[in-house]
Structure 1
Amino acid sequence: MSVYEFPALAIQDWLRVFCYDSYCADAMTSGLTNSKDTTLHWQLAVDTLYRLFASNLLHIPSLKADDFSTQKSIALDYIKSLARHDPFRSDIEETSHWYLWDISATDRCHRLIEKFGIRDLPQGELSQGFVAALHSLFAENQVAWSDQPLIVINTDQ
């Protein structure tokens, strides 16, 4: 697997899970790659979360703002801030940023999961239609997958 290969099955599985319950951002630091490199886990978590928020597939339910645009902007700023906080450090002040908000699937995510029958797919089976829809949503929201980081993490701590 190349460093920034699109983890389609992992994203499909995570979005299915987010449809059932809320999780903190820290949850996304596992399962996106089989690599033992925690820096890669961190980078993929930040980039993937940013793409999912930018594409209106995830949201922060307790985030209150006057309009959706403001909510989205605050959420995206939060995800950008995670690039400065290593989730694998033993410093609680550092890792606590990853637990600030509960994250849930949006209505758009629920509709996408339903449209492609993701809930009924056997574990480990990938929906190519779902993957194509994700790529389309990412491109439409100017966060297309690439072999370069979307938001470079700060490892100089």
Structure 2
Amino acid sequence: MSDRAATLVRLAALERFREERARQQLATAHADAQAAREIKERDEATLETFERARESALHHPAADMARYALYADAAMAAETVLARSTDTLAQSETALRQASEDWTLARARRDMAGERATEAREQAEQAVEAKAAADLMDLWLGRESAK
């Protein structure tokens, strides 16, 4: 195999490795985004619970303002946590989109490198076959001229 073909084969192997790494990063980003979605849903449920408790304390026959204030503070804290988890989810989804694009590009590079390596390998084989045919013709011509 020619040096060029060998180099292209090694490049194709490198691109396969890079594509696999990009695929793994995509899987990780997908898992991170899913975890962020679950955390956001949990935080939304927590906020909803505190808001219901706050409303309940307000409408309780013996309206307990201390309890109302406690649940109002808890609801504000839950809103802060929810805002953070919403931001985290947005970042995770952005990372997921980027990882998906990176993987798509890595697959395309892998495919192109594989095609170039296959083409170079075929050209090297054709060159070897052409040289063998030329050598065989030279040998035959040498025998014919020796007769």
TM over 0.5: no
Point out the structure with max Rg over C-alpha.
2
TM-score (norm. length: structure 1): 0.26
Q: Which of 1 and 2 has higher RCO (CA within 8 Å, sep 6+)?
A: 2
TM-score (norm. length: structure 2): 0.28
